[in-house]
Structures are given as C-alpha cells and as structure tokens.
Chain A
Amino acid sequence: MALLSGGSGHGYELKQAIEHEFGTLLPELNSGQIYSTLARLERDGLVEGEAVADDNRGKKVYRLTQKGRNVLQDWLGVPVPGARLKDGFFVKFVVATSVGLADPTDLIDRQRDEYLQSLRDLDARLASAPHGPTAELLIEGAVLHLKADLEWLDLIEERLARRSA
C-alpha cells in the first residue's frame, strides 16, 4: 500500500518494485501472491482497480482508496512497541539452568563469544563493503543492540555470582 501511495500501478510493476526495494527480506513472491494480495485489499476496500481499456488480458491498474490511505496513516502513526521480552538466548538459559542441563557460565561465555564475533562481523562490514547512509544506520543500530545484549550477559553473570556467594 505504501508503494501505491505514490501513485497507481500495475500488479506487475508492483512486483518489480517490491523485489527492488526489499530484495531478499521477503522470499521471492510470485505474481499469483501479488494479485491475490491485491484482490484481498480490493475486497477490503483499501484499493480499487480499474480495468485498462485497451488491454484484453484484463490487467487492472490499482489505486489507493481514501479508506486505504487512512489505514496507511494509522500504520505509520502508531509507534512500534518498545519492550521486547522475547529473547532466544534467554529461553535457552532459563530452560537449561532450571533443569540443570547445562552450566550457566558456559552458556553465557559461548553466547558472549557469538555476540562479540557478530560485532566483529558488523564492524568489518562497515569498514569494507560499500554502503549508503541508511545501511550504515541499520548496522550501527545492530551494533548498539549487540552492546546492550552483551551488557545484559554481564549482568546475568554478576547476579549469578552474587546469588551463589
């Protein structure tokens, strides 16, 4: 819908734009998925299609409706929820330590190694391959998240030590 907000377009054009902008973020969509999504949007009244007069294959040109615009705005207006209470490592940690499956310090160390390594990878990426300013922001964001995660690991380790002391 965001793509359509810029103007109207064919389903085919949309597919191309999606591939171009988002690349491998999404699995390769086939035309069928595009059209069925468009049909659903049309049924919900968020887009509307117009048949092109001189095209006998029945291709439609799609356009965003007002209702569609409103929905789009709402999506933009609501901030992404902040508190992230889901973490793969934490699950592993809680499960393993409660049942005694693994040594907690060991787990933490190995996770830390992985985080540090990822940091290294990100820094290397920043230093080597070309990237634009937006990509840099994305990578720096990942770096900061990693630093926070590493701090969290330190905290967990410290609390563990305190509890056993």
Chain B
Amino acid sequence: MTALLEARGLSRTYDTGGAPVPALDGVDLAIERGEFVVVIGPSGCGKSTLLNLLAGLDRPSAGEVWLDGTRVDQLSETALARLRRRRLGFVFQFFNLLPTLTASENVELPLLLAGRRRRQARRTAHRMLDDLGIGDRADAAPSQLSGGQQQRVALARALANQPDLVMGDEPTGSLDSTSAGEVLGLMRAAHARGQTLLLATHDARVAAAADRVVTMRDGRVTRERAMQPSRPVTLPFDPDPA
C-alpha cells in the first residue's frame, strides 16, 4: 500500500545573499493513511520547512514529494492550489484567519472553492463549528474571538473539505495551556474518526498524542519512534470519592 504522503530525499536551501542556508537536507518521510505523526525538534531544525514543502507552499531544491502515488512537487502553482483545496488542510500557529470575514465565512471558504453552493457551505460550516464547540460564535469576527476559539475556527476550516491530510505548524504554539489541551483534544477526536494528521510542534503534549514521533535536527531526521498504546494510570489515592 502506497503511503498517503511521502517525501523522498527532500532538500531546501535558501540563498540569503551570503552563504546558502540548508534548511532541509535529504529528508525521507512517509505518512500512512490514518496515522497521527508529529515532528519535533529545536527551532531551526527544519520542521516548518518540511511541512511547507509537503503542502506545496514552497518548492524543494532537491527531492520529491508524492501524494497518494502522484508526484506533486513539480506541479504548477495553479494545480497545487487546486490540489490543496481538496486534499489538504492546514493549521497555523498564528491562526491566520482572514480578518475581514466572519468565523463561519472563513470556514466556508474552502467549501466554496471546492464548488459547494453558498447555502450548503454555510450549513456545513455552522455544523462544523458546532462540533468544535463554538457554534454560537459563528458570526463573530476573528478579532472578537479568543486565541483558542480562533484556532478552533482554523481547525474547522482545515477539516471543512474532509481532506486526506491535515497539517499543522505549531498549532498550539500561541495558546495557553487550557486552550492548547482543548484544541489537542479536538484534533485527537478527528484522528479517532480517521483523519490523518501531521503536526510540527514544540509542545510535548502534542507529541505524546501521536502514533509516531519524528525527531529532527539541523535539517535532518535523527530519530523515528512509534508510540506504544497507553498504559493504565492509577492514582495514589482517590481525592474525589464518588
């Protein structure tokens, strides 16, 4: 079975005027359908670059990107855009919602692009926001929402077209610990429903939720490890007797 998303020998070097900077140096990575993969590493290790390349938001200097058996790193911008809108969802650290649209309209955007009718898109968007617990804020502007709420809207937007893969670059990076936990919970719920996830993060908690943890350093993958199923935890005492 071919992997859903595959990077083969992926490299990206930036020419910043001085010496060229290799942000990514020959990375191989395969994501299977239904997996929850997390990439961790210190800042500057290249995990964001990797995600951008895999999403087609940037072009590799060398190597290949394969999506479901088709090579995609050499497609035109237009073709990539069309691919993205149906098959990929993206969540960012700074939410990146369009400030001039309401929460619902932000979620409707990918639906409209995929060809849904306006009314249907609105209904779907409202339903998704409901599922994520912010249905009552559907008509609010992003500036009126808290960080956690905005990220939930962003997640709804990413999930809107039921993409093959949802990618996130530090999705909990700008959230306080409670909101981060909530958003992580929502992502895990999506995974439980079958959504494939690929996240880059500093947050150990997010990493712990993954099926597989990929460690990067200086543009290379240094370690890959599958997480074991969780072991039971017994509390030393029961402070809240039933």
Q: Which A residues have a C-beta under 8 Å from some C-beta of B?
A: 20-25, 109, 113, 115-117, 119-125, 127, 131-135, 138-139, 143-144, 146-147, 150-151, 154, 158
Give the number of A-B contacts (CB < 8 Å). Answer: 75
B208 touches A123 (CB 8 A): yes
Please indicate the chain A residues that have their CB under 8 angstroms from the CB of B236 in the complex.
Answer: 22-25
Asked if B69 is at the interface of the complex by the 8 Å CB criterion, the answer is no
For residue A24, which residues in chain B have a CB less than 8 angstroms away from its CB?
Answer: 234, 236-237
Select B238's contact among A23, A113, A123, beta carbons within 8 Å.
A23
Decide if the interface of chain A is mainly helix, strand, loop or mixed.
Answer: helix
Interface of B is mostly: loop
Complex interface residues of chain B between 190 and 242 (CB less than 8 A to chain A):
204-205, 207-209, 213, 223, 225, 227-228, 230-241
> Could you tell me the distance in whole angstroms from the C-beta of A68 to the nearest C-beta in chain B?
23
**B177, B223, B227, B238: most-surrounded residue (chain A CB, <10 A):** B238
Q: Which residues of B contact A115 (CB under 8 A)?
A: 204
Q: Which residues of A contact B223 (CB under 8 A)?
A: 109
Contacts of B239 in A (CB 8 A): 132, 134-135, 138
In the complex the two chains form, is A121's CB within 8 Å of B231's CB? yes
Say yes or no: is B42 at the interface (Cβ < 8 Å to chain A).
Answer: yes
Q: How many chain B residues touch the partner (CB < 8 A)?
A: 26
Task: Known A120-B227, A123-B230; judge A135-B204 contact (CB<8 A).
Answer: no
Of A21, A121, A134, A151, which one neighbours B230 at CB under 8 angstroms? Answer: A121
A121 to B233, CA, bound (A): 7
Q: Please judge, given known A-B contacts A117-B227, A117-B228, A158-B42, whether A122 and B233 are in contact too, CB under 8 Å.
A: yes
9 A-B pairs whose Cβ atoms sit less than 8 Å apart in the complex: A119-B204, A120-B208, A121-B231, A121-B232, A124-B233, A127-B188, A144-B177, A154-B42, A158-B42
Q: How far is B233's CA from A117's CA once the two chains are assembled, in angstroms? A: 12
A150 pairs with B233, CB closer than 8 A: no
B133: CB under 8 A from chain A? no
- Chain B residues near A109 (CB, 8 Å)? 223
List the 5 closest A-B pairs by CB distance, nearest first.
Answer: A132-B240, A119-B208, A124-B230, A134-B239, A125-B233
1/0 per position for B126-160, CB-CB distance to A under 8 A? 00000000000000000000000000000000000
Knowing A121-B230, A123-B230, the reply to whether A116 touches B237 (Cβ < 8 A) is: no
Instruction: Find chain B residues with CB under 8 A from A113 CB.
Output: 225
Contacts of B232 in A (CB 8 A): 121, 125
